[in-house]
């Protein structure tokens, strides 16, 4: 069973009009990596900003190291050498660039510093391991010097860490939630060692809702900073030519990830024995193209360019991170991605409405393929001109904070932990509802208006108050 997400007790609600924005091309320095001569293991990274989220992590080097080494011998990966001692990644956050005036509330500062980072840091310490030097040599400059002030203490002493993150908070009238960049790379193996993130308070509100969507956005950012970015391809230990290739698709150059575990995942997930990789996004601006998975192929995977109400950190992304050579990931954290599952090679090349992920009637409401949420048929920037069913934050059935209004009789729908989506026909139109349900003795049972119903077969129609409920598979 996959390990659960370490969701926050609190969360930040991001504006639904803004959603997730990758702004690689908007801020920060540009250019190829360059070395820092006065330090032993740092080199500057001159590039477009990379989405980033990193945190303080306690080191867990203990006697369990020998057990880890034994496990690694049995789990040899082509992209990483055997018999290396891997340790949980230790990421140290520096908050000295927080504003000292009243432009940002103390609640937001405290929330980011003491709730958000400390929660996600533990998640990544469990998820990812690194090898090599466990300290970062003293340094006085990075590629991010134009964006932040490097505290003087970093130039006078080494830091026990695998990565240092400089965190800024601003309150700007601009259409982004956060942007980030990798500031320097290790001269030993090219792994990112320093980075920064700038968070825009304008779109953040401390709340007990929207926990999953906010946390997943930061995980998305961190994965860009650590691994999934075209500005890091040349530094991969496995070699750029073994990680990505360019193909001409409909007259457009598109990046395809060809790492061994990614190809293996594609063959197994789609049920396509001829799969030879997974495409990166070819639509949107420079912050989206070539640094995210293709939306139409993997839908609500966490590393697509469009935010989704139910993001999934799948084995696809973990395979990418594991194969490039810097990290060892725990695949026990992989979550099940249902988008495109067992749909065959045809699904990878087309968006036919015969597949439940795609549709042909704009604004039509239907259940997602995993029956977790209602979805709306629409076309977006990243859907390759396909009409797809998009997850919507306000339409997730098992999200207890969902307060979206219902168009059905009072008490008909139920939102909560045990609710799932059911397709319905109302007034001769197809739609969907959220109902409290469970599986018992191989049968789907659901409750409407305090009455319990049972489905005997998939596709069975049960009519309640002129609403026809269609039993799921």
Q: What is the pLDDT of residue 134?
A: 93
Residue 213: pLDDT band (50, 70, 90) is: low
pTM (two decimals) = 0.79
d(CA 433, CA 439): 17
Q: Which residue has the higher pLDDT, 19 or 212?
A: 212
313, exposed or middle or buried, with CB in 10 Å at 0-12, 13-18, 19+? buried
Average pLDDT over residues 451-472: 93
- Residues in a beta bridge with 425: 430, 468
What is the 8-class DSSP label of residue 409? P
Q: What is the pLDDT of residue 345?
A: 96
d(CA 52, CA 89): 15
Note the helical H segments in 332-397: 345-349
Residue 406: pLDDT band (50, 70, 90) is: low
In the chain, the percentage of residues whose pLDDT exceeds 90 is 42
Residue 16: pLDDT band (50, 70, 90) is: very low
Sheet holding 87-88, edge to edge: 87-88, 128-130, 328-329
What is the widest separation between alpha-carbon atoms in the chain? 76
The token pair at 307 is 């935010």
Q: Beta strand pairing status for 278-279 and 328-329?
A: unpaired
Tens digit of pLDDT for each residue in 28-81?
444 333 333 323 455 554 333 333 222 222 233 334 444 443 443 344 344 344
Q: What is the pLDDT of residue 470?
A: 95
Q: What is the pLDDT of residue 353?
A: 86
- 3-state SS string for 237-270: CCCHHHCEEEEEECCEEEEEECCHHHHHHHHHHH
Q: What is the pLDDT of residue 209?
A: 64
R_g over Cα of the chain? 23
457, exposed or middle or buried, with CB in 10 Å at 0-12, 13-18, 19+? exposed
Average pLDDT taken over every residue of the chain? 80
Nearest by Cα to 203 from 179, 181, 174: 174
Within 10 angstroms of residue 440's Cβ, the number of other Cβ atoms is 9
The contacts of residue 471 (CB under 8 Å, 6+ apart) are 422, 444, 455, 456, 457, 458, 459, 460, 461, 462
């Amino acid at each position: 069973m996959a390990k659960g997400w370490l969701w926050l007790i609190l969360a930040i609600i991001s504006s639904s009009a803004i959603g997730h924005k990758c702004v690689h091309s908007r801020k920060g320095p540009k250019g190829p990596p360059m070395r820092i001569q006065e330090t032993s293991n740092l080199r500057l990274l001159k590039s477009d900003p990379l989405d980033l989220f990193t945190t303080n992590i306690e080191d867990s080097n203990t006697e369990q190291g020998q057990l880890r080494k034994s496990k690694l011998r049995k789990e040899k990966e082509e992209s990483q050498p055997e018999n290396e001692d891997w340790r949980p990644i230790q990421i140290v956050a520096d908050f000295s660039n927080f504003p000292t005036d009243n432009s940002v509330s103390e609640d937001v500062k405290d929330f980011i510093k003491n709730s958000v980072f400390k929660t996600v840091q533990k998640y990544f310490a469990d998820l990812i391991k690194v090898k090599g030097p466990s300290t970062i040599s003293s340094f006085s400059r990075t590629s991010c010097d134009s964006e932040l002030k490097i505290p003087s203490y970093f130039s006078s002493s080494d830091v026990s860490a695998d990565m240092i993150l400089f965190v800024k908070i601003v309150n700007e009238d601009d259409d982004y939630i956060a942007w980030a960049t990798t500031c320097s790379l290790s001269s030993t193996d090219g792994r990112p060692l320093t980075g920064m993130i700038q968070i825009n308070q304008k779109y953040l509100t401390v709340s007990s809702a929207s926990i999953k969507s906010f946390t997943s956005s930061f995980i998305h950012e961190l994965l860009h900073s650590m691994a999934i970015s075209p500005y890091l391809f040349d530094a991969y230990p496995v070699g750029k030519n073994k990680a990505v290739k360019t193909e001409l698709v409909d007259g457009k150059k598109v990046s395809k990830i060809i790492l061994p575990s990614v190809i293996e995942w594609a063959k197994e997930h789609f049920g396509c024995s001829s799969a030879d990789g997974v495409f990166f996004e070819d639509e949107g601006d420079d912050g989206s193209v070539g640094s995210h998975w293709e939306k139409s192929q993997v839908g609500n995977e966490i590393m697509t360019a469009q935010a989704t109400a139910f993001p999934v950190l799948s084995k696809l992304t973990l395979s990418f991170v594991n194969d490039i050579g810097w990290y060892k990931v725990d695949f026990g954290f992989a979550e099940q991605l249902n988008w495109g599952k067992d749909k065959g090679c045809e699904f990878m090349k087309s968006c036919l409405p015969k597949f439940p992920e795609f549709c042909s009637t704009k604004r039509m409401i239907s259940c997602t393929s995993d029956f977790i949420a209602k979805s709306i048929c629409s076309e977006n920037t990243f859907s390759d001109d396909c009409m797809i069913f998009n997850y919507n934050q306000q339409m997730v059935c098992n999200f207890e904070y969902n307060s979206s209004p219902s168009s059905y009789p009072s008490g008909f729908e139920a939102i909560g932990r045990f609710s799932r989506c059911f397709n319905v026909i109302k007034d001769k139109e197809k739609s969907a509802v959220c109902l409290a349900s469970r599986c018992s003795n191989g049968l789907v049972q659901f409750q409407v208006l305090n009455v319990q119903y049972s489905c005997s077969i998939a596709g069975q129609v049960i009519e309640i108050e002129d609403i026809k409920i269609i039993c799921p598979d």
